[in-house]
Amino acid sequence: MQRCNAPSRGEGRARPGAAVPRCRVMIRTKDKTMKQDPIAQIAQIRQSHPNNLMARHFDMAYFRALEPALQQRLLKIIASGIANPDSSMGAYAMDAQDYADFAPFFDALIHDFHGIPDDTPIAQPHDWNTTQAACDLGGIDPALKDVSMRVRVARNAASFPLPGAMNRDQRVAFESLAADAFAKLAENPAFGGEYLSITPGSPHEISADEYDRRVAAHQMFKDMSNDRFLNVAGISGDWPYGRGMYVSEDQDFLVWVGEEDHLRIMAMQKGGNLNALFDRLHAGLTVLEGLLPEFAMSGKYGAIASCPTNLGAGMRASLHMKLPKVTQGGTDLSAITDAAKGLGLAVRGAGGEHSDAGADGLVDISPSARLGVSEMQIMRRLYDGAAKLWAMEKAA
């Protein structure tokens, strides 16, 4: 990947809280908030929302050194984090090349989010060999034998812009390529199934009722046009064109098309056996790789994704666990969130990101880091972390 003539990481890097000079560059967007000086807004956000990583690491000296066309590109990348000061990341790449072209900017966010020490180079190892460790939660407690498990990887085709920069024709063209691949996958006895589209007029189009049922079953993604982060980034643009989902007959291998990344490829099973879950995903991913256009991958960043949180293995492996005591019946996630953080895990509500916990204390736990850790390290972090949180619940 090509590099721009920008200062290397660390050079002229702004300290959190440091004053940021004013700048005349305006981002072209329909969003009114961006008509103000975005650089002054970043300075304000840095004070008011110190957890917004984009604002925390934005380096004015680096920005000023960029040519105007590169400045405009970077402003589009950070638009969501400016319009949504409560962002935790606050940036989305528009093209795979952005990570290399704006490495001094992205690398600071990546080190911070993925917990990679500043003096450790960013690099992505891959390892799918599940035979190294038995990670069956049922072995910890038979009560964990019916937890719901999900593991997904983000993948993007190298030949298309990332979703934030796609137009409607490109979204539909990518979906059509994916549907061709699914037609072949459907003939594979291990992964046979059907493609369900929500693109108006698609030959695979499903009804609104079926879409709602699939969302409620945690299989299909929610209406993206309600997501303020994705809206500003352009990722939910042209909704619902170019969107759909492949689902295997046994309902445990699924592929999302046209959500935050071109593809989210996942395995979902009940039963606590993480080894089996990961093997299922790896087998399906390997078959799909042979049927689809080449994915955007990098030795440094691993799988390229829209959001820097999803680089690397591109993997979020999660468990839906009932922890009613430590969550006070789902009403207070603070204790569990703090404990999980110490174990490298993030806690979400049972309806996915930005949702609340169920009344029965059902939460979604998953390892936060996806870059700099292999697939197997993620599996083991989830297993070890879940064992510790379960011990907390039992002791509560």
Catalytic (active-site) positions: 152, 260, 264, 307, 309, 316, 348, 353
| Burial degree of 22 (CB within 10 A; 0-12, 13-18, 19+) | exposed
On whether the CB atoms of residues 247 and 267 are closer than 8 A, the answer is no
- Pick from 111, 214, 320, 370 the residue near ligand ADP by CB under 6 A: 320
Q: Which of 46, 56, 57, 152 binds ligand ADP (CB under 6 A)?
A: 152
87 binds ligand ARG (CB under 6 A): yes
In angstroms, rounded to a whole number, what is the distance separating the alpha carbons of residues 53 and 240?
A: 30
If contact means CB under 5 to 8 A according to the sort of partner, which of Mg ion, ligand ADP, ligand ARG, none does residue 229 touch?
A: ligand ARG
Residue 318 touching ligand ADP (CB under 6 A):
yes
Reduce the DSSP state of residue 164 to 3 states and report it.
helix
The piece of 32-40, 60-68, 85-93, 370-378 that touches ligand ARG (CB under 6 A) is 85-93
Structure tokens at 223: 């209406």
Which of 74, 157, 292, 319 lies at the binding interface for ligand ADP (CB under 6 A)? 319
d(CA 44, CA 42): 5
Give yes or no for residue 83 binding ligand ARG (CB under 6 A).
no
Interacting residue with ligand ARG among 307, 363, 365, 378 (CB under 6 A): 307
Asked if 148 is part of the footprint of ligand ADP (rule: CB under 6 A), the reply reads yes
The answer to whether residues 370 and 311 touch, using CB atoms and an 8 Å cutoff, is yes
Q: Please report how close the Cβ of residue 190 comes to ligand ARG at its closest, in angstroms.
A: 30
Helix, strand, coil shares of the chain, percent, nearest 5, are 40, 15, 45
Q: Which is nearer to ligand ADP, 42 or 321 (CB)?
A: 321
Residue 263 interface partner, choices ligand ADP, Mg ion, ligand ARG, none, CB cut-off 5-8 Å depending on type: none
Contacts of 314 (CB under 8 A, 6+ apart): 153, 154, 155, 261, 302, 303, 305, 370
The pair phi, psi for residue 83, each rounded to 5°, is: -70, -25
The distance of closest approach from Cβ of residue 18 to ligand ARG in the complex, given in angstroms and rounded to an integer, is: 21
Binding site per annotation, positions for ATP: 148-152, 218, 264, 316-320, 348-353
